[in-house]
Structure 1
Amino acid sequence: MSEKNRDGKRAARERLAVQREKQKAAEKRRRGLIVGAAIVCVLALATVGGILAANTGKSGSSGPSIGPSGATGKDGLAIPVGRDSAKSTLTVWEDFRCPACKVFETVYRPTIHELVDAGKLRVEYHLVTLIDGNLGGSGSLHAANAAACAQDAGKFRRYHDVLYDNQPKETVDTFADHAKLIKLAGKVGGLDTPTFQKCVKSGTHNGWVTKVNSAFQSGGYSGTPTVLLGGKNINADQTMNPAKLKEMVEAANKS
């Protein structure tokens, strides 16, 4: 072998090693983002006297519990996405104002969509108001109600994603503005209708959201997002990533 060929192979090996180290570092950063953001949402609990005391005394937080169309699970507190025949179920407790929830969405959304569209995964979303209770405001409540209104229109998943794509800073209560929520509905084809607008403005599902949040409180969960696969908390698995989630779901479908 010529010296030139040996140098070329050595350089290729070195480039491959550098690429692998970059991939490892990127994966570590992604995990750190999820863990770090989750800590922000959890630590916020300590800033109020009553842990997870969401929406107490806020206008529109009470009233009859009117669940959105197709709500499922215990007491009808979950919005389902995916086929009933899917062998794996991902249970998500989330808050549209929570930055850790957005990080989870950013990292896992493509994989979750892929698995749902393939009929291998069903997701049950529980919409809570953790940040409203910790930092004040009503954006968590109003955004959750608007998402439930989108569910009535059969457009929950797309609007759900739009809300996270346009999430304001945690301390800015942008989602408390009905006009903002309706404007964002314009990004989802056919959603911004008089029926949707009335549902958002009247807080049709506010009582239901409050009921979901009460279940979150009584469930003893430590923060958002809380993500369960088949009832097991995957947040506790430090090795969890989209590839591993996909492997677990596909393994369940093969069994």
Structure 2
Amino acid sequence: MSDKNREGKRTARERLAVERQREKAREKRRRTLIVSSAVVGVLGLAAVIGVIAANSGGGEEDTSGPVVVPKGAIGQDGLAIPVGKDSAKSTLTIWEDFRCPVCKVFEDTYRSTIQELTASGKLKVEYHFATLIDGNMGGSGSLRAANAAACSQQAGKFPAYHDVLFENQPAETDDAFADNAKLTELAGKVDGLDTDVFKRCVDDGTHNSWVAKSNKAFQDGGFRGTPTILLNGKDVYADQANPLTPAKLKKLVEDGGQG
């Protein structure tokens, strides 16, 4: 083979190698652009979701009006809604936030036991409301749901509506309870609650200042968080080394709350 032919083949191989390197470089740039675009898209979506979660439910709610205590509320400043007979020997005090997922876990776990004990006359429950999730996550669902619960107490339908709210609790980052229409819609699940009077109470925020006063009492009480569960004044839910169970709660109540 002549030197000229060998030189021509070497040049062709070199051109082919250069072209292959260029193709690899182009493919690498293409993959980089695809990955970068995907990352930007994910970050942008996360930012949008964060803004939606933080801003759901609008701005600050008006809690400056007169404190309207719902009918039948008891205790200091009328901040507790009672369920059960006054003659019950044991009292369970529950501090809850309707947006609080751990509160829903408590309700789902203990609901049937508490209902059994109140129906038998052994236990009285006093419900108090806090609005911690509104403060932590933004929004107003804790406040509006608690106001709606107070409206249901005014209508004599509190126990059933309280349970409906927790059974239909949205995700913690979803401030769905800030929508008064949603709260009124859920009232349709309680016989006789979906009335014009209830809807007006919800839309007007009739008990907003009462809820705000309850939340302040929670903060002033130095409680660790929601739910806070006290049996005859003793915290029976905080000790995770000796956790409460439905069976243990039932035994404590039947033993007169001594544990």
58-67 vs 120-129, greater mean Cα deviation: 58-67
CA distance in 1, matches of 2:94, 2:257: 20
Letter in 1 for 2:203: K
Contact 2:228–2:238 (CA<8 Å) still a contact in 1? Answer: no
Offset at residue 251 of structure 1 (A)? 1.2
2:157 aligned residue (155, 158, 162): 155
CA distance in 1, matches of 2:135, 2:64: 14
Tell me the residue number matched to 2:248: 244
Contact 2:84–2:118 (CA<8 Å) still a contact in 1? Answer: yes
Tell me the residue number matched to 1:84: 86
Offset at residue 60 of structure 1 (A)? 2.2
CA distance in 2, matches of 1:239, 1:182: 36
Contact 1:95–1:127 (CA<8 Å) still a contact in 2? Answer: yes
1:102 aligned residue (101, 104, 108): 104
Q: Secondary structure at the match of 1:91?
A: strand
Paired-residue identity, %: 67
Q: Secondary structure at the match of 2:125?
A: strand
Contact 1:61–1:141 (CA<8 Å) still a contact in 2? Answer: no
TM-score normalised by length of structure 1:
0.76
Letter in 2 for 1:112: I
Corresponding pairs, count: 199
After superposition, what is the alpha-carbon deviation per residue over 1:54-94, rounded to whole angstroms, capped at 9, x for unaligned?
xxx81223211111110101111000000000000000000
Tell me the residue number matched to 2:130: 128
Letter in 1 for 2:173: T
Contact 1:62–1:210 (CA<8 Å) still a contact in 2? Answer: no
Offset at residue 180 of structure 1 (A)? 0.2
| Residues 227-238 of structure 1: pairs in structure 2 closer than 5 A | 227-237=229-239, 238=242
The alignment yields a C-alpha RMSD, in angstroms, of 1.5
Offset at residue 140 of structure 1 (A)? 0.2
Q: Which runs of 5+ in 1 are unaligned?
A: 1-56
Q: Which runs of 5+ in 2 are unaligned?
A: 1-58
Offset at residue 253 of structure 1 (A)? 8.2
CA distance in 2, matches of 1:94, 1:156: 14
1:218 equivalent to 2:242? Answer no
CA distance in 2, matches of 1:221, 1:208: 19
Contact 2:68–2:206 (CA<8 Å) still a contact in 1? Answer: yes
Contact 2:96–2:128 (CA<8 Å) still a contact in 1? Answer: yes
TM-score normalised by length of structure 2:
0.75
After superposition, what is the alpha-carbon deviation per residue over 1:101-147, rounded to whole angstroms, capped at 9, x for unaligned?
00000111110000000011000000110100111100000000000
CA distance in 1, matches of 2:192, 2:180: 18
Contact 1:158–1:188 (CA<8 Å) still a contact in 2? Answer: yes
| Residues 1-255 of structure 1: pairs in structure 2 closer than 5 A | 58-237=60-239, 238-252=242-256
CA distance in 1, matches of 2:243, 2:74: 30
Contact 1:81–1:123 (CA<8 Å) still a contact in 2? Answer: yes
CA distance in 1, matches of 2:257, 2:120: 11
After superposition, what is the alpha-carbon deviation per residue over 1:144-177, rounded to whole angstroms, capped at 9, x for unaligned?
0000000011100000000000000001100000
Q: 4+ runs of 1 displaced by more than 4 Å?
A: none
Tell me the residue number matched to 2:44: none
Q: Secondary structure at the match of 1:209?
A: helix
